[in-house]
């Protein structure tokens, strides 16, 4: 299990940032991803894996109205 | 025929202020100048602050929107009119609203505000009522104000603005120096009339319109028998504000222009598609209001997605609604040919679509048809109908129709089911003609609810649950069921459920950055105050957070865009020569925000009971809604309430969820009022007013009756 934006989410073996965003259906193009407080560069989304128990933040910097 | 002419001395703006305003009374054709005092500048700053102060002094608690005492005040603000920083040409319009009976404020682009400023005035007050239609003309170069009888037969804004631009400009070259404020035929027959502010687009060689949409200001305009306001000013340049530190303004502007140039294409594509860039994003996150806010997404949204509009909107033109705005979000569909109504078959320009139009005139009424949205958009604008109110009230009507509250007999033959574009267009044409069911629709949701209950036997609980209005104003176009903070962002507001005070859906629902009531209350303090400031200055909100610096994500508070907040501090200090910081910026807003709250209380509103919102904004009203997101709601019952949904009927589950969500809203209200320094009934305390330096006797007199 991992934490995503403060809520529990099932972890899977080999889960990358890209895979997590797909699973969460986070399609917004401007998301800042942090794993245990460390900002992950977009170029690493494909390769950077998430470990069981990690605290992940997917912050949508959405401007809105 | 000129009814009255007034000559005034041309002046010079000093550090963002002319230090005088223009007052016109149409009952007796008085025209005079008023001093803008240091008190006004200290307490109310400008823009909406000036508008509210003038209105406060013009009306009594008994004044109604259509009394001659009611005013329309148009004011810009100390920063307005600079050309170095994007989004600096806004006007703020204030009046007593026919929908809410309270002060309404609306923020609008176009050239009128800056030209009014360059002509010598920090605000324009319009009071009284003319006997016949009049045009008010301000010649900002000659120092002349005229009230003249109108000879314009055309009734709709795109024509009125074109004719008057042609008439008051010396030649083609001069058209850019003219701005017209007008409304259209529906403002004569509805309570949802808007004002169109024009600017001349020299590339298209055409008049463009921007809207002060919310709250029926256009209705008040026509009640005063104003056909149009026209200002002409030749000589716009970047230093007319006589800033204390022009270099600071220039440097701050260059920084943002560079950011926009480098990053906009990677971020929100404001230059390519404007605010419509978020249509499909809202759909993907289940936030796009669909079928009167029942749902947040729809299988046909792709038909009205931003790329569909982008293909229809002319590209490659710098589409700013004031000089120097490189964010350029003001889009236009050129050579659009309406299929219905009085302009059927003619080539017209549609200004937009904004996101709100696509959602309100599209998904919320079930019209997943790009050109249908554009046609509704065109007619709303030129008829002078607020697109947001039209979308939301039509969605309400359609749900009533589908539930048998309305039928063809009651609607005069209109089959107003979701998705019936032709019926929606005909409803709009009826509003413009003042005929048929359009007359009822034009009263807005609050009054329709009363009619449907009294005359059609509608279930009061049902229509009150699904009628998406609060304080009499229709909701804007975001689904907030899953974001408690945004429910507060709509409900705990001064003018009604318009998202310009706070837009917290992603921070709250998706990012979960403000999980506690205290966190939400802090956000519902900071963001409404911060956003209020744009309206004091004559600024647009979009360059604050629709473009962000590349390193913004590394800052402590990315949602506030700290670098841009500092830009605004620098702009204000650069113009005025003062030395405020980001904390004083918030206090400037707090003074006006609390004043507006007290103004509402003075008018008999502005208390906790007026901040309640319909249940459709909080959760599923119908089984259809619940079942459509059953997994989500069942999970919440288990996790938040410890219930076992397996052993509950849908009705039981809905009742339990409703009780929980309504309690959450009450707790949020408590937390927000406490953070804002208000009593549990939503009244600003005397201590709070003292802290803000707003313990003015007449404000104390109002609040002490409610403490």
- Look up the ipTM and state it: 0.94
Number of Cα atoms under 13 Å in the Cβ half of residue B613: 33
pLDDT number for residue A65: 63
Rounded to an integer, the average pLDDT of B4-8 is 98
- Residue B345, pLDDT score: 98
Of A30, A57, A65, the CB nearest to B500: A65
pLDDT at A61 over 90: no
| Residue contact B510–A60, C-beta within 8 A | yes
Q: Quick one: chain B helix, strand, coil %, rounded to 5?
A: 45, 15, 40
Nearest chain A alpha carbon to B558 = A61
pLDDT of residue B626: 98
Average pLDDT of B577-593? 98
The nearest alpha carbon in chain A to B281 belongs to A28
Q: B596 and B99 in contact (C-beta within 8 Å)?
A: no
Beta strands B144-149; B134-139: pairing state:
antiparallel
Q: Do residues B270 and B547 make contact, with C-beta atoms less than 8 angstroms apart?
A: yes
Nearest chain A Cα distance for residue B296, angstroms: 15
Provide the CATH number for the domain around residue B460. Answer: 1.10.569.10
Other CB atoms within 10 A of residue B43 CB: 18
Chain A residue with the nearest C-alpha to that of B263: A30
Q: Does A44 score more than 80 pLDDT? A: yes
Q: Are B268 and B298 found together in one domain?
A: yes
Pairwise CB contact (< 8 Å): B554 & A39? yes
| Residue B662 structural domain | 487-547+580-704
Interchain CB distance below 8 Å, B281 and A27:
yes
Residue B600 lies in a domain: yes
Q: Which residues of A touch B285 (CB under 8 A)?
A: 28
Q: Within an 8 Å CB–CB cutoff, is residue A62 touching chain B? A: yes
Domain identity same for B369 and B459: yes
CA distance B560 to B566: 10
Contact check, Cβ <8 Å, A65/B506 = no
Q: Are residues B66 and B185 in the same domain?
A: yes
Contact B108, B555 (CB under 8 A): no
- Structural domain count, chain B: 3
Tell me if A60 sits within 8 A of A28, measured CB to CB.
yes
Q: Give the CATH number, domain containing residue A49.
A: 3.10.20.30
The answer to whether B393 and B365 are in contact (CB under 8 A) is no
Å between A31 CA and nearest CA of chain B? 9
Question: Does the distance separating the beta carbons of B267 and A30 come in below 8 Å?
Answer: yes
Tell me the three-class secondary structure of chain A, residue by residue: CEEECCEEECCCCCCEHHHHHHHCCCCCCCEEEEECCEEECHHHCCCCECCCCCEEEEEECCCCC
| Minimum distance, in Å, between the CA of residue B267 and any CA atom of chain A | 7
CB contact under 8 A, B284 and A63: no
- Residue B554 predicted with pLDDT over 80: yes
Residue A65 lies inside a defined structural domain of this protein:
no
Q: Phi, psi (5° rounding) for residue B568?
A: -65, -40
Is residue B252 one of the residues assigned to a domain? no
Q: What are phi and psi of B680, to 5 degrees?
A: -65, -15
Residue of B nearest to A7 (CA): B512
In chain A, which residues have their Cβ closer than 8 Å to the Cβ of B259? none
Is B556 a domain residue? no
End-of-domain residue from the set B185, B214, B232: B232
**Residues of B with CB below 8 A from A63's CB?**
268, 503, 542, 545-546
Contact A5 B511 (CB under 8 A): yes
With contacts defined as CB-CB under 8 Å, which chain B residues touch A9? none
Q: Which of B66, B71, B103, B63 is nearest to B600 (CA)?
A: B103
Within a domain: residue B241? no
Q: What percent of chain B has pLDDT over 90?
A: 96
With beta carbons under 8 A apart, name residues in chain A contacting B534. Answer: none
A64–B285 CB contact, under 8 Å = no
B505/A64 touch (CB, cutoff 8 Å), yes or no: yes
Q: Tell me how close the Cα of A29 comes to any Cα of chain B, in angstroms.
A: 8
Partner residues linked to B285 by β-bridges: none
What pLDDT is stored for residue B560 in this prediction?
Answer: 95
Co-location of B361 and B492 in the same domain: no
CA distances to B40, B49, B684, B696 from B43, in Å: 5, 8, 16, 10
Please give the average per-residue pLDDT across B376-396, as a whole number: 98
Per the CB < 8 Å rule, is A64 touching B506? yes
Q: What is the mean pLDDT of residues B402-424?
A: 98
CA–CA dist B572, B577 (Å, integer): 8
Q: Are residues B81 and B118 in the same domain?
A: yes
* pLDDT at residue B268, as a whole number: 87
- Nearest Cα residue to B576 out of B146, B38, B4, B201: B38
What average pLDDT score do residues B516-523 get? Answer: 98
In this structure, what DSSP letter does residue B53 have?
H
Examine the domain organization and report whether B398 and B523 are in the same domain. no
CATH number, domain of B526, equals 1.10.599.10
Residues 2-61 of A with CB under 8 A from B: 5-7, 25-28, 30, 32, 39, 57-61
- The pLDDT-based confidence of B398 (bands split at 50, 70, 90) is very high
CB within 8 A of B170, min separation 6: which ones?
none
User: Is B128 at the interface with chain A, CB within 8 A?
Assistant: no
Task: Name the minimum distance, in Å, from the CA of B362 to any CA of chain A.
Answer: 17
Confirm whether A21 is domain-assigned.
yes
Q: Tell me what percent of the residues of chain B surpass a pLDDT of 70.
A: 100
| A35, part of any domain | yes
Contact B558 A65 (CB under 8 A): no
- Same domain as B468, residue B327: yes
Alpha carbons A32 and B558: distance in angstroms, whole number? 10
The CATH number linked to B13 is: 3.60.9.10
- Of B416, B440, B474, the position where a domain reaches its end is B474
Q: If you average pLDDT over every residue of chain B, what do you get?
A: 97
A58 vs B contacts (CB less than 8 Å):
510-511
What domain count does chain A have? 1
Same domain, B450 and B511: no
| pLDDT(B47) > 90 | yes
pLDDT given for residue B639 in this prediction: 95
> Are B686 and B606 part of one and the same domain?
yes
**Mean pLDDT confidence for B112-126:** 98
User: Which pLDDT value is given to residue B318?
Assistant: 77
Best residue in B387, B486, B512 to probe A by mutation, most A CBs within 10 Å? B512
One domain for residues B408 and B542: no
pLDDT surpasses 70 at A13: yes
**Each residue's pLDDT tens digit, B207-266:** 999 999 999 999 999 999 999 999 999 999 999 999 999 999 999 999 999 999 999 999
**Range list of H helices, B242-386:** 246-263, 270-273, 279-284, 306-312, 355-360, 370-383
Distance from CA of A13 to the nearest CA of B (A): 24
Range of the domain at A44: 2-60
Q: Which residue in B355, B476, B515 is closest to A6 by CB distance?
A: B515
CB contact under 8 A, B478 and A64: yes
The whole-number pLDDT of residue B658 equals 98
- Preceding omega of B236 cis (within 30 degrees of 0): no
Mutate to test the interface with A, among B285, B520, B555 (most CBs of A within 10 A): B285
SS3 state at B535: helix
Residue percentage of chain A with pLDDT more than 70:
97
Which of A28-42, B170-184, B342-356 has the highest average model confidence (pLDDT)? B170-184
> B140 and B6 in one domain?
yes
B426 and B506 share one domain: no
B47 DSSP assignment:
T
């Amino acid at each position: 299990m991992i934490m995503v934006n403060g809520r529990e989410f099932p972890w899977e073996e080999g889960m990358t940032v890209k895979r997590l965003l797909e699973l969460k259906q986070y399609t917004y193009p401007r998301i800042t991803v942090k794993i245990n407080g460390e900002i992950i560069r977009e170029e690493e989304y494909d390769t950077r894996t998430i470990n069981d128990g990690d605290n992940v933040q997917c912050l949508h910097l959405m401007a809105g109205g | 025929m000129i009814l009255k002419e007034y000559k005034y001395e041309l002046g010079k703006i000093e550090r963002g202020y002319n230090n005088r305003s223009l007052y016109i009374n149409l009952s007796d054709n008085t025209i005079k100048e008023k001093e803008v005092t240091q008190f006004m500048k200290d307490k109310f700053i400008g823009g909406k602050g000036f508008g509210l102060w003038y209105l406060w002094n013009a009306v009594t608690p008994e004044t109604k929107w259509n009394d001659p005492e009611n005013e329309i005040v148009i004011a810009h603000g100390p920063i307005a009119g600079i050309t170095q920083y994007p989004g600096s040409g806004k006007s703020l319009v204030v009046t007593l609203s026919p929908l809410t009976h309270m002060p309404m404020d609306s923020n609008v682009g176009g050239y009128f505000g800056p030209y009014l400023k360059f002509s010598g005035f920090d605000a324009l007050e319009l009071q009284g009522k003319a006997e016949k239609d009049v045009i008010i003309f301000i010649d900002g170069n000659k120092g002349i104000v005229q009230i003249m009888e109108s000879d314009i037969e055309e009734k709709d804004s795109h024509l009125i603005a074109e004719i008057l631009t042609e008439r008051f400009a010396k030649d083609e070259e001069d058209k850019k120096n003219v701005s017209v404020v007008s409304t259209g035929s529906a403002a004569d027959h509805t309570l949802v009339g808007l004002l169109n502010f024009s600017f001349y687009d020299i590339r298209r060689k055409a008049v463009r319109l921007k809207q002060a949409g919310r709250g029926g200001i256009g209705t008040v305009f026509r009640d005063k028998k104003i056909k149009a306001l026209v200002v002409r000013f030749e000589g716009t340049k970047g230093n007319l504000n006589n800033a204390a530190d022009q270099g600071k303004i220039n440097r701050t502007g260059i920084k943002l222009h560079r950011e926009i140039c480098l990053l906009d294409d990677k971020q929100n594509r404001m230059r390519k598609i404007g605010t419509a860039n978020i249509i499909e994003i809202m759909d993907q996150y289940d936030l796009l209001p669909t079928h009167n806010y029942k749902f947040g997404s729809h299988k046909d949204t792709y038909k009205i997605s931003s790329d569909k509009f982008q293909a229809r909107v002319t590209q490659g033109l710098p589409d700013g609604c004031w000089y120097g705005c490189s964010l350029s979000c003001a889009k236009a569909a050129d050579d659009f040919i309406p299929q219905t109504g009085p302009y059927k078959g003619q080539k017209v320009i549609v200004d937009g679509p904004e996101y709100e139009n696509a959602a309100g005139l599209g998904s919320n009424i079930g019209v997943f048809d790009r050109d249908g949205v554009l046609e509704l958009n065109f007619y709303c604008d030129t008829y002078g109908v607020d697109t947001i109110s039209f979308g939301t009230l039509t969605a309400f009507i359609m749900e009533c129709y589908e539930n048998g509250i309305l039928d063809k007999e009651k609607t005069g033959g209109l089959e107003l089911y979701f998705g019936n574009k032709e019926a929606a267009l005909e409803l709009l044409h009826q509003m413009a003609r003042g005929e048929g069911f359009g007359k009822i629709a034009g009263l807005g949701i609050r009054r329709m609810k009363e009619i449907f209950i009294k005359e059609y036997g509608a279930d009061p609980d049902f229509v009150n649950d699904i009628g998406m209005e609060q304080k009499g104003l229709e909701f804007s176009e975001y689904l907030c069921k899953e974001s408690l903070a945004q429910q507060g962002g709509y409900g705990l507001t001064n003018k009604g459920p318009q998202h310009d005070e706070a837009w917290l859906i992603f921070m709250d629902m998706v990012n979960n950055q403000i999980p506690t009531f205290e966190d939400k209350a802090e956000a519902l303090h900071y963001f409404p105050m911060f956003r209020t400031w744009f309206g004091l200055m004559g600024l647009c909100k979009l360059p604050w957070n629709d473009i962000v610096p590349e390193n913004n994500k590394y800052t402590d508070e990315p949602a506030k865009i700290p670098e841009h907040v500092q830009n605004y501090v620098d702009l204000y200090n650069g113009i005025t020569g003062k030395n405020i910081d980001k904390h004083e910026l918030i206090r400037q807003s707090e003074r006006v925000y609390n004043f507006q709250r007290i103004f509402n209380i003075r008018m008999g509103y502005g208390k906790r009971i007026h901040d309640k919102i319909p249940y459709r904004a909080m959760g599923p009203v119908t089984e259809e809604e619940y079942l459509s997101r059953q997994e989500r709601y069942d999970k919440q019952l288990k996790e938040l309430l410890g219930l076992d949904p397996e052993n509950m009927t849908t009705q039981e589950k809905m009742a339990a969820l409703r009780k929980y969500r309504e309690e959450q809203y009450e707790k949020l209200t408590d937390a927000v009022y406490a953070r804002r320094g208000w009593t549990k009934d939503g009244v600003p305390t005397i201590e709070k007013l003292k802290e803000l330096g707003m313990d003015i006797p007449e404000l104390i007199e109002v609040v002490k009756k409610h403490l």
